């Protein structure tokens, strides 16, 4: 029986990422208010604008709307697994959707009172989206840059478990531990699939048991990555492990030695 709470583990850094999004939303809305006042309305900026009840209300509601858009677009994951390029695309999509939503629900009625016709609409929508995109992307890239630096320096790593006794497992160990720039994997040990067979990792990593102990080891060592090092002939073991590990995704990611890629194809989720 799989652990029903395994996939409910809160992704690392998600609160930091959400807080950065909230801060960026607050900043971008404040900057947009200044932009609307000076560019669209053509009036000098005054401090009283920020003291108005309408601004106090909007500075609370608007960032919440942005966070809801990010949640709907499934933006919050383990920050150490996020790609900056993918986050660029995600942020752009969220900006388009959130910008249109705020334009039609918050800004449209206000703009009716302004001169300039449709030009005011275009400026407002373009200004809102541009300002938010720059603020949100900057905040996200700062968080991800810090996260990636922590990985490369070795200050953060995923607890990684090797399952299997394929000879390639020793090469994987040497490759991951012999680099000057870390890849983000902390090998905590290995599990045997054949207790009577050779163990290439013996003397290099602690043996934590056999494949039957997989659930216990995942919980005890808070495993986040698994490397399958099975032989092609161990299909029964492979299928049994897949049925166990399926309940732990996407919290636990599954990787494999090259010779197993054909078995894994279509069975395992890829990292985001």
* Dihedral sign computed on CA atoms, order 218, 224, 269, 259: negative
Low-confidence ranges of the chain (pLDDT < 50): 1-8, 264-272
Distance CA 140, CA 23 (A): 11
> What is the structure's pLDDT at 9?
56
pLDDT in tens, 205-247: 999 999 999 999 999 999 999 999 888 788 888 888 888 888 8
> What is the structure's pLDDT at 113?
55
> What is the structure's pLDDT at 272?
47
Backbone dihedral angles phi then psi of residue 154, each to the nearest 5 degrees: 90, 5
Q: For residues 41-74, b (16+ Cβ closer than 10 Å) or e, as one string?
A: beeeeeeeeeeeeeeeebeeebbebbbebbeeee
pTM of the model: 0.81
The DSSP result for the chain, as a single string, is ---TTGGGSPPTTHHHHHHHHHHHHHHHHHHHHHHIIIIIS-----THHHHSHHHHHHHHHHHHHHHHHHHHTT--S-GGG--HHHHHHHHHHHHHHHHHHHIIIIIHHHHTTSSSTHHHHHHHHHHHHHHHHHHHHHHHHHHHHHHHHHHHHTS--EEEEEE---THHHHHHHHHHS-SS--SEEEEEEEES-TTS--TTBTTB-EEEEGGGHHHHHHHTT--EEEE---TT-HHHHHHHHHHHGGGTTTSEEEE-GGGHHHHTTTSPPP-
Angle at 165 between CA 160 and CA 169, to 5 degrees: 55
> What is the structure's pLDDT at 192?
93
């Amino acid at each position: 029986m799989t652990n029903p709470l395994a996939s409910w583990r809160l992704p690392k850094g998600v609160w930091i990422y959400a807080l950065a999004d909230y801060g960026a939303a607050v900043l971008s809305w404040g900057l947009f208010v200044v932009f609307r006042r000076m560019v669209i309305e053509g009036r000098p900026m005054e401090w009283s604008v920020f003291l108005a009840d309408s601004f106090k209300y909007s500075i609370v509601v608007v960032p919440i709307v942005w966070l809801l858009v990010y949640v709907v677009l499934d933006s919050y994951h383990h920050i150490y697994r996020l790609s900056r390029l993918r986050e660029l695309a995600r942020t752009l999509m969220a900006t388009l959707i959130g910008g249109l939503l705020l334009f039609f629900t918050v800004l449209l009625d206000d703009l009716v009172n302004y001169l300039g016709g449709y030009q005011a609409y275009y400026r407002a929508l373009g200004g809102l989206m541009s300002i938010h995109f720059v603020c949100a992307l900057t905040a996200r890239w700062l968080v991800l840059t810090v996260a990636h630096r922590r990985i490369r320096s070795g200050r953060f790593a995923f607890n990684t478990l090797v399952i299997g006794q394929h000879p390639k497992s020793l090469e994987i160990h040497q490759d991951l531990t012999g680099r000057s720039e870390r890849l983000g994997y902390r090998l905590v040990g290995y599990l045997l699939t054949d207790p009577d067979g050779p163990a290439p990792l013996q003397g290099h990593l602690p043996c934590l048991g056999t494949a039957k102990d997989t659930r216990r080891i995942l919980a005890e060592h808070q495993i986040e990555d698994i490397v399958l090092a099975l032989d092609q002939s161990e299909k029964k073991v492979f299928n049994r492990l897949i049925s166990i590990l399926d309940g732990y995704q996407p919290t636990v990611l599954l990787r494999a030695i090259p010779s197993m890629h054909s078995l894994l194809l279509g069975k395992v989720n890829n990292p985001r």
